[in-house]
Amino acid sequence: MLDFDLRDLDAFVAVARTRNFRRAALERRVSVSSLSQRLRDMEERLGVRLMNRTTRSVALTEAGEMLLARVAPAMSDVGDALNQVRGLRAEPSGRLRINAPPPAVDLVLAQMVGPFLAKYPKVELEIVAETAFVDIVAQGFDAGVRYGEHLAQDMIAMPLGAPQRYAVVASRDYVARHGRPLHPKDLLKHACIRTRFSNGAMFDWEFEKNGRLVKVSPPAKLIATYLGLALRAVHDGVGYWATFEGYVRYGVKSGTLVSVLDDWCPPFDGPFLYYPSRRQPPPALAAFVAFVADWRKQARRKP
């Protein structure tokens, strides 16, 4: 152990967790070459290969898996201990990594970023927007954002934003030419803009009214994985689009978009901030949790 230091083990855990030297180097703010050299030196001193590397992938050997299983929890404990000591300082600092789906980033988190960083200038905030569900602990995030039905039971969760709702909209010109659906199943006769997620799924559109649930899978005139494209397409009259109301609120208010089936789109709980149960959370995370609680309290006071 005398010929190793915590930086060696931290480098190994970072690469083993991400399976990517470049990503691990960015997280640790070092060069890829220095990180790779540190791992090679570790292997030479141990006399055993820890990772098999190719130009495209990194895979742990049996020895690497064994070392990761023992070292990763220990490094987490060391990090918690250091964070606890840092917490004694008056001002929170350090890196805070949050994983969240794009709608939660766009419609809820984005407005918090500026005020939070202004209040805690020594915090380094990283927000990763992705639709896929990830293990925030395994992927090195301090916290995540998800909607209620996808929250793990072993996580601490708190409301991040107000209730939200979906809206089905089309351009005023499209509605004038093709008509307005009066029932969700009427959408089957219309051109629609659909979203395909990173896992390849294209979910049905769900509607609810008076306790009755209706699911439809309308024909896709356009399939978009990028939200900005779908937003432009609906304004250009491509067809109907079901999305979070927050994305189209101003278009509907200005009259360029028409909202339909409003009585079939009830509100639902907004996103939740969730994080692992820890006796002493990192100072930056503790500061963000307190900030969110205060933000929500002020939002409730506004008319």
Digit-coded pLDDT (tens) for 211-225: 899 999 999 999 998
**SS3 of 40-94:** HHHHHHHCCCCEEECCCCEEECHHHHHHHHHHHHHHHHHHHHHHHHHCCCCCCCE
What's the confidence (pLDDT) of residue 69?
A: 86
Residue 2 has pLDDT above 60, yes or no: no
Q: Which residues contact 109 (CB under 8 A, 6 or more apart)?
A: 98, 100, 127, 145, 160
Question: Quick one: what percent of the chain has pLDDT higher than 70?
Answer: 91
Hey, what CATH class is 6-86 in? mainly alpha
38 and 4 in contact (C-beta within 8 Å)? no
Structure confidence at residue 7 (pLDDT): 80
d(C-alpha 241, C-alpha 192), whole Å: 6
| Structure confidence at residue 28 (pLDDT) | 77
Band of pLDDT at residue 245, cut at 50, 70 and 90: very high
Structure tokens at 9: 């083990």
Check if CATH label 3.40.190.290 holds for domain 166-264: yes
Res 169: pLDDT: 98
Decide: helix, strand or coil at residue 246: helix
Indicate the DSSP class of residue 149: G
Mean of per-residue pLDDT scores for the chain: 87
pLDDT single digits (tens) 140-161: 889 999 987 666 667 888 999 8
- CATH 3.40.190.290 range(s) for the chain read 166-264
Distance CA 36, CA 22 (A): 10
pLDDT at 87: 59
* 44-58, 94-108, 230-244, 255-269: least confidently modelled range: 44-58
Higher pLDDT, 51 or 290: 290
CA distances (Å), 152 to each of 44, 159, 204, in order? 41, 15, 24
Radius of gyration of the chain (CA): 24
User: Which amino acid would we find at residue 285?
Assistant: L
Q: What's the pLDDT at 74?
A: 78
The pLDDT of residue 89 is 58
How far from chain centre, in Å, is Cα 202?
Answer: 19
CATH of segment(s) 94-163+270-301: 3.40.190.10
% of the chain beyond a pLDDT of 90: 50
CB-based contact 283:86 (threshold 8 Å): yes
The residue ranking higher by pLDDT, 92 or 301, is 92
- In the chain, where does the domain assigned CATH 1.10.10.10 lie? 6-86
Tell me the average pLDDT across 223-250.
95
The ranges of the chain annotated as CATH 3.40.190.10 are: 94-163+270-301
* Res. 276: pLDDT tops 60: yes
Supply the pTM of this predicted model: 0.71
Band of the pLDDT at 101, cuts 50, 70, 90?
Answer: very high
What are 96's strand-pairing partners?
A: 125
pLDDT at 53 > cutoff 70? yes
Return the residue matching tokens 């930086």: 7
